[in-house]
A = this chain, B = another copy of it.
Amino acid sequence: MRSVITYGTFDLFHVGHLRLLNRAKALGDKLIVAVSTDQFNAQKKKKTIIPYSQRAEIVGSIDCVDMVLPESSWDQKRTDIKKYKISALVMGDDWTGKFDDLRDVCEVCYLSRTSDISSTEIKRLLSPLDDGHMKDLRKALDTVASIIASLQ
């Protein structure tokens, strides 16, 4: 049996995450997902919207995921790979080359991410005071300013 492992934050779970997990699972028979803890994210100066327990609960409920564990340090990968007899480590291609030192213990695969879908893009879409709103607001203030100026 081939076990595959991947690591990630999985904030605001979206189809980009889902498709990466499905493609990771397709590389083996069992998929283990290590979800970064809030403490580990704090070390990385990364802040999530959704807390660890909820991110892990969602990832664990996905069809193709067999096991979830917490990721709490940069150097646990080598330990996990040995402990869980991992055949392949899978990461998104934004990490290309970063984990090549682990090729002595398992395969290392970097999968391309789904274009145009990311937690960052979702956060941008949710910005309620967008550029359009800001221009409107600025225009209104400029109008006020010009009226006041005309009083001088």
A residues contacting B by CB (< 8 A) are 12-15, 18, 22, 49-50, 54, 57-58, 61-64, 117, 122-123, 125-130, 133-134, 136-138, 140-145, 147-152
Smallest distance from the beta carbon of A80 to chain B beta carbons, Å?
Answer: 23
A151 and B128 alpha carbons, distance in the complex (Å): 35
Pairwise interchain contact A57-B15, C-beta atoms closer than 8 A: yes
Q: List 18 A-B contacts (CB under 8 A).
A: A13-B58, A14-B54, A15-B54, A18-B57, A18-B61, A61-B62, A62-B63, A127-B128, A127-B130, A129-B133, A140-B141, A141-B144, A144-B145, A144-B148, A147-B149, A147-B152, A148-B151, A151-B151
Closest to A149 in B: B147
Q: Which of B136, B140, B145 contacts A147 (CB 8 A)?
A: B145
A126-B126, A134-B133, A140-B138 known; A50+B150 contact, CB < 8 A? no
A13 and B57 alpha carbons, distance in the complex (Å): 12
Smallest distance from the beta carbon of A30 to chain B beta carbons, Å?
Answer: 15
What residues of chain B lie closer than 8 Å to A22, measured between beta carbons? 61
What residues of chain B lie closer than 8 Å to A147, measured between beta carbons? 145, 148-149, 152
Pairwise interchain contact B123-A126, C-beta atoms closer than 8 A: yes
Given A54-B117, A123-B128, 17 further pairs, Cβ under 8 A = A12-B12, A14-B50, A14-B58, A18-B61, A22-B61, A49-B126, A61-B62, A127-B129, A127-B130, A128-B129, A136-B138, A140-B142, A141-B143, A141-B144, A143-B145, A144-B145, A145-B147
